[in-house]
Structure 1
Amino acid sequence: MHSPTPSQDRPDLPDLQGPLSGIRVLDITSVVLGPLATLVLGDYGADVIKIESLTGDLMRANGVSRNPGMSSVFLALNRNKRSLALDLKSPKGREIFLELAASADVIIHNMRIPAIERLGLGYDVVRAIKPDMVYCAATGFGQDGPYRFKPAFDDIIQGACGMASLAGQASGTPEYVPSLIADKTAGMAVVNAVLAALFHRERSGQGQYIEVPMFETLVEFTLAEHLGGLAFDPGLAPAGYGRIMSGGRKPMPTADGHVAMLPYSPGHWIALFQRVGRSDLVETYAITDRQKLNAVVRDLYRELGIMTLSRTTAAWVAICEELDIPATPIYSLDDLPDHPHLQAIGMFQSMDHPSEGRLRYVRPATRFGATPASVRLPTPLLGQHSTEILGELGYCPQKIERLREEGIIVATMGSSPPPNTAVGKEDG
């Protein structure tokens, strides 16, 4: 069956309708966890209004930059969003936010709960204005526990959930995974929770409060395979998935580099040993079933690491393809734009940004046959859409300028002008 190829990689087509088209999200998150969640919602078609402080999201400064405030990390996480730079600590800023809330479907924040309550923007306040609001708080720790007010960042959660300990198994010293794995995993949990709540609202008409605690989310994530003996009460053995904890699998050295190869079944190992003239190893290890394979798997990988030195990476990949054994060369991050599969599917796209020039980005990976995800808006400058968004609320140009002069908003030069027929607000 031929798979549809939606035009999700066509930022020049502004009329694409994603599955969340018509949903408005107020995004008062920052750094990585929240922005990654709202990135996905925006790619899926939601109108995401990114409400930033007057100095902007901290992540605007992290990564590689051509111009201040538009770092590589910020660019990657904040496309398909409109930026409203607003002082939420001011009464006027709070008023504007609540006016926007009346027109929104989803609010997502990653502040600590006392902080959002001090702003007067907690769930009870919002629900009084918009009863069917889906309101998601991405917290560091669950609010039912003693850690509920503690600060949480990726490093802290990796350390707390067992992941840093796992990453340091080989060296004996805890290490962080070299990726913002806690932020990104929790961010995807926020996406799932918001989509589920929107589905519930569609069926029942009811909004709800959601809490996605980072720590608990990563404990659940880490223990999916590592619960081990703790799966029984009382425990039968220590936690941990033995196959991973005991080591063995790793990139194998070849005559000219390294290869990732995974003979997974007894049949794979037998076919591989026979193919390269080492049938003797089939007899030595008697790997006739999964139980026997598991018992000697570290020995098998030791033998494999010696064997792979005899051929090039390309030769081993070819052998594995012949035997239908999973394998790949080891790609560096810089190699990925040249990966033949990624090139063939157009995973890397380019666009012209109003301030940053020509940019490369990774298109949405998920494909929808009828409602394609798409990149419709480039990552915004700080306050780029403040004027536009306030105009949609009915604010006249004079009042918008007064808000700017009073330090309530930042409106970047060149942002869209307000409608000429503003109504419903102070007339100048």
Structure 2
Amino acid sequence: MKEAPLKGIKIIDASSILMVPYCTRLLADMGAEIIKVETLSGDNTRYIGPSINKGMAAVFLNINRNKKSISVDLKSADGRLIIYKLIKKSDVFVSNIRKASLEKLKLTHSDFIKINPKIITANAVGFSSRGPYAGLPAFDDTIQAISGMAAYQEIYSDQPSYTSGATADKVTGLMLGMSILSALFNREKNGEGTELEVPMMETMVDFTLVEHLYGYNFLPPKAPPVYPRQSSPNRKPYKTLDGYIAVLPYSDDQWLRFFSIIKKENILKDPKFCSLESRNQNIDELYKILSEELKKRNTSFWIKNLREQDIPATKVNFPKDLFEDEHLERTNFFKVQDHPTEGKLLYPSFPVEFNEDETSESLHAPSLGENTKEILTDLGYSEFEIESFVSKGTIKI
């Protein structure tokens, strides 16, 4: 059996909530050893959602599997020394602690490179340290607002709205993971550690404007910063006789095949719909035509006929449907894990397939400080020292 891609990489994750923990869960799934540094009260997500035991709630369990937990008071001198000893044996330190706090705690890259010149320090922040918003607090909702993402949802609700998920946290988490992998690769070439900063606002502005930069790509602008097709209020799943369906003919050939199915081939002769450019300009009218046609038949009819013509089409899965989807069942996407205290847990598998025989060990989400004693022993602390730390409130085991 081959080793997972990141086997042998040790990452100290001094973060909480969702963005960085999601990033490090993905890195753990690729084989990295993740040591989650928690306060004595633990990550707040330990208390969000349904739970069997206190401090082991659903949100925490999902994004913190495959990790080890060490509970340390970072404000204490002994706690800081524990982190320094971990730094000496680690490859990456990642956190979402604000810069001023890191400086006060003496947990900055300049502190770390004195101990380990090859360490990679990754800082997830709300805003770039080079701008006037530097150091401001930031959460998913506030970043969706300031990045423009909330305003682009206005077409559906007549006012700026948030997406129904922690989009800014998850997208920035992905960017953070990609940046850490790039830094590790660069270190392989030059042997040097580095410090990197991943700001949520800049990441989400870039993400939001991938297609919506549109006319503002030019100076002076040639059109508003809105991609018409994706900003139409009529861009949504279509109602059928018995449910909803998503359909997206795109090329001329696909549209011709679609209109052949509904026996209206002449529509493509209309100058408003005869080319990709003209369809994009008249997209609302085109969406209305689709809406009128698709509601005449049931979902299974459309899925069968559209797929036979190689036209992108799927049913709409509601949340509970995901757990019975035939494709996800066949690919064994959802895994079941026996947790030592929480019973059987369901979780999504890592979606990328490297090789069938490349796997990482699947660790259960840890209880608060579950691995503190193990990690400190590995760092060379004696039983007496560990007990002393516990009595002083420096650590929790």
Compute the TM-score of the two structures, normalised by the length of structure 1.
0.90
On the 8 A contact 1:262/1:326 being kept in 2, the answer is yes
Residue 198 of structure 1: aligned partner: 184
On the 8 A contact 2:140/2:168 being kept in 1, the answer is yes
On the 8 A contact 2:228/2:281 being kept in 1, the answer is no
Alignment of 1:260 with 2:246, yes or no, is yes
On the 8 A contact 2:124/2:197 being kept in 1, the answer is yes
Could you tell me how far apart the structure 2 residues matched to 1:143 and 1:112 are? Answer: 10
Stretches of structure 2 that go unaligned for 5 or more consecutive residues are none
| Segment of structure 1 superposing worse, 149-158 or 242-251 | 242-251
Residue 228 of structure 2: aligned partner: 242
Aligned length: 397
Q: Residue 40 of structure 1: SS of its match in structure 2? A: helix
Could you tell me which amino acid in structure 1 is paired with residue 208 of structure 2? T
Residue 27 of structure 2: aligned partner: 41
Compute the TM-score of the two structures, normalised by the length of structure 2.
0.97
1:283 to partner: Cα distance: 4.6
Q: Residue 128 of structure 1: SS of its match in structure 2? A: coil
Residue 303 of structure 1: aligned partner: 289
Residue 409 of structure 1: aligned partner: 395
Could you tell me how far apart the structure 2 residues matched to 1:81 and 1:253 are? Answer: 43
Could you tell me which amino acid in structure 2 is paired with residue 275 of structure 1? I
Stretches of structure 1 that go unaligned for 5 or more consecutive residues are 1-14, 412-428
Q: Residue 218 of structure 1: SS of its match in structure 2? A: helix
User: Given the alignment, which residue of 112, 132, 136 partners 2:118?
Assistant: 132
Deviation sequence 1:340-397 (CA, Å, 0-9, x none): 1100000001010011000001111111127724352010000000010011011122
1:319 to partner: Cα distance: 1.0
Could you tell me how far apart the structure 2 residues matched to 1:401 and 1:112 are? Answer: 31
1:158 to partner: Cα distance: 0.1
| Segment of structure 1 superposing worse, 60-69 or 173-182 | 60-69
Could you tell me how far apart the structure 1 residues matched to 2:162 and 2:78 are? Answer: 42
Residue 84 of structure 1: aligned partner: 70
User: How do 1:311-350 residues align onto structure 2 when only pairs under 5 Å count?
Assistant: 311-350=297-336
Residue 9 of structure 1: aligned partner: none
1:322 to partner: Cα distance: 1.2
On the 8 A contact 1:109/1:137 being kept in 2, the answer is yes
Could you tell me how far apart the structure 1 residues matched to 2:211 and 2:287 are? Answer: 21
Q: Residue 48 of structure 1: SS of its match in structure 2? A: strand
Q: Residue 271 of structure 1: SS of its match in structure 2? A: helix
Residue 355 of structure 1: aligned partner: 341
Could you tell me how far apart the structure 1 residues matched to 2:184 and 2:370 are? Answer: 28
Could you tell me how far apart the structure 2 residues matched to 1:311 and 1:370 are? Answer: 41
Residue 141 of structure 1: aligned partner: 127
Could you tell me which amino acid in structure 2 is paired with residue 242 of structure 1? P
1:236 to partner: Cα distance: 2.2
On the 8 A contact 1:78/1:379 being kept in 2, the answer is yes
Could you tell me which amino acid in structure 1 is paired with residue 191 of structure 2? G
Deviation sequence 1:283-340 (CA, Å, 0-9, x none): 5567332223223332221011111111111111111111111111100111111111
